[in-house]
């Protein structure tokens, strides 16, 4: 059973851009128990519109003998800074005004997300992390965790690379433009009862086209019409996905989190990629997806080649980028067969 909690820090949080967030709150869920050394931890980092319920969207990785085993590990999944699922973000009240931040919430980076998560794990007195795991934006956080903290002993990074390429930035930009052009956007200061729903729904539809693959759409929909009307089934599917996101997510959060993904570049403010990655002396499994158009396999292989103790594995799937949330049988086989060398890092 999951344990759901939140923690509010009394010390202000300063973003990489220099913006101050007073009294930030972070939400998380956990499964299992901490051992005496407080180092039997598996840290799960979620993707763009994900939440702390890793047992729901990563359910196929939970269970006895799997990578997420509550009988052996203390599994923790924090919600990212800027989201709308309990951690401080655009829908949170600004203590200075008593009103939601909305567009006044500052741009944040993947590293900002990790720094707030570090504060949480420090608060919990966690001394070691057996594994950090994530896909897409979660993989970006996981990689930065390995670079920014000595506690991770191993990592699993899925469907991402060493930086956000222009292709992915362009798709993110297009989604944000859909939101900005909604008449109800109002510069990001919309009211609770008049949100830019059409723009957010369109942004999600654009994203869904990049999350799946042509062969996946062929198999699912062919050229069939929906319920005998003039709308293609694929059109109905995309409209449904857009509406479903609108019912659970916030437009400014979507903007801020896609901007954070665009900030992903492990060489930013650091030496070149080779110098940065050579410091990672821990075993890392990089998982690519053969049908991923958003983060193609070559991107994942490139990252694996840069890391001293990395191994590259590839999911065979028609499902595109979303395969890391679908192909759990393959993932469990890949991760259970992992026999990496021990890290030279020592637990604090």
Could you read off the pLDDT of 196-207 as tens digits, one per residue?
999 999 999 999
Q: Please report the pLDDT score of residue 338 as a whole number.
A: 58
Please state the pTM of the whole predicted model.
0.96
Q: Specify the pLDDT at position 230.
A: 84
> Per-residue pLDDT for 163 more than 80?
yes
Least confident of 128-137, 148-157, 221-230: 221-230
pLDDT digit string, tens, across residues 66-93: 999 999 999 999 999 999 999 999 999 9
Q: Which domains are delineated in the chain? A: 3-162+265-336 (3.40.50.1820), 168-261 (1.10.1740.110)
Q: Is 3 helix (H, G, I), strand (E, B) or coil?
A: strand
Q: What is the pLDDT of residue 348?
A: 38
Q: Please state, in angstroms and rounded to a whole number, the distance separating the CA atoms of residues 161 and 165.
A: 9
Residue 346 confidence (pLDDT) above 90: no
Query: N- to C-terminal Cα distance for the chain?
Result: 29
347 pLDDT above the threshold of 50: no
Which active-site residues does the annotation give?
136, 292, 321
What percentage of residues in the chain have a pLDDT greater than 70?
97
Residue-level pLDDT at 345? 55
Count CA atoms within 13 Å of residue 340 on its CB side: 24
Q: Which pLDDT tens digit goes with each residue over 20-57?
A: 999 999 999 999 999 999 999 999 999 999 999 999 99
Q: What is the DSSP letter of 191?
A: B
Query: What is the distance between the alpha carbons of residues 151 and 127, in angstroms, rounded to a whole number?
Result: 7
Task: Name the pLDDT band for 227 (thresholds 50, 70, 90).
Answer: confident
Is residue 142 within 8 A of residue 156, CB to CB? The reply is yes
State how far the Cα of 114 lies from the Cα of 145, in Å rounded to an integer.
6
Answer whether 249's CB lies under 8 Å from 84's CB.
Answer: yes
Which residues does 308 contact at the CB level (< 8 Å), separation at least 6? 277, 278, 280, 281
pLDDT at 340: 45
Provide the Cα torsion 110, 116, 121, 122; round to 10°. Answer: 130
Whether 177 shows a pLDDT value over 70: the answer reads: yes
């Amino acid at each position: 059973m999951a344990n759901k909690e939140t923690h509010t820090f009394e010390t202000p949080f300063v973003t990489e851009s220099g913006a101050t967030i007073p009294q930030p709150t972070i939400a998380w869920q956990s499964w299992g128990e901490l051992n005496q050394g407080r180092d039997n931890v598996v840290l799960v980092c979620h993707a763009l519109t994900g939440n702390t319920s890793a047992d729901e969207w990563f359910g196929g990785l939970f269970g006895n003998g799997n990578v997420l085993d509550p009988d052996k590990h203390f599994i923790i999944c924090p919600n990212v800074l800027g989201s709308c699922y309990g951690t401080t973000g655009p829908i949170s009240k600004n203590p200075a005004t008593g009103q939601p931040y909305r567009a006044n919430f500052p741009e944040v980076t993947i590293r900002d997300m990790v720094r707030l998560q570090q504060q949480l794990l420090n608060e919990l007195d966690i001394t070691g992390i057996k594994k950090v795991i994530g896909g897409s934006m979660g993989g970006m956080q996981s990689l930065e965790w390995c670079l920014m903290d000595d506690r991770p002993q191993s990592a699993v990074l899925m469907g991402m690379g060493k930086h956000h390429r222009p292709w992915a930035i362009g798709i993110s930009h297009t989604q944000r433009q859909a939101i900005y052009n909604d008449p109800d956007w109002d510069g990001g200061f919309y009211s609770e009862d008049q949100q830019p729903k059409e723009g957010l729904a369109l942004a999600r539809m654009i994203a869904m086209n990049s999350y799946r693959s042509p062969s996946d759409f062929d198999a699912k929909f062919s050229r069939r019409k929906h319920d005998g009307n003039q709308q293609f089934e694929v059109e109905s599917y995309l409209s449904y996905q857009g509406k479903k996101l609108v019912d659970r997510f916030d437009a400014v959060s979507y903007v801020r989190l896609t901007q954070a993904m665009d900030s992903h570049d492990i060489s930013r403010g650091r030496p070149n990629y080779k110098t940065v990655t050579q410091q990672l002396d821990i075993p890392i499994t990089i998982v690519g997806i053969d049908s991923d158009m958003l983060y193609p396999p070559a991107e994942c292989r490139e990252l694996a080649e840069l890391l001293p103790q990395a191994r590259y594995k590839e999911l065979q799937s028609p499902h595109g980028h979303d395969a890391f949330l679908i192909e759990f049988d393959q993932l469990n086989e890949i991760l259970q067969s992992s026999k990496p060398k021990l890290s030279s890092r020592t637990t604090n």
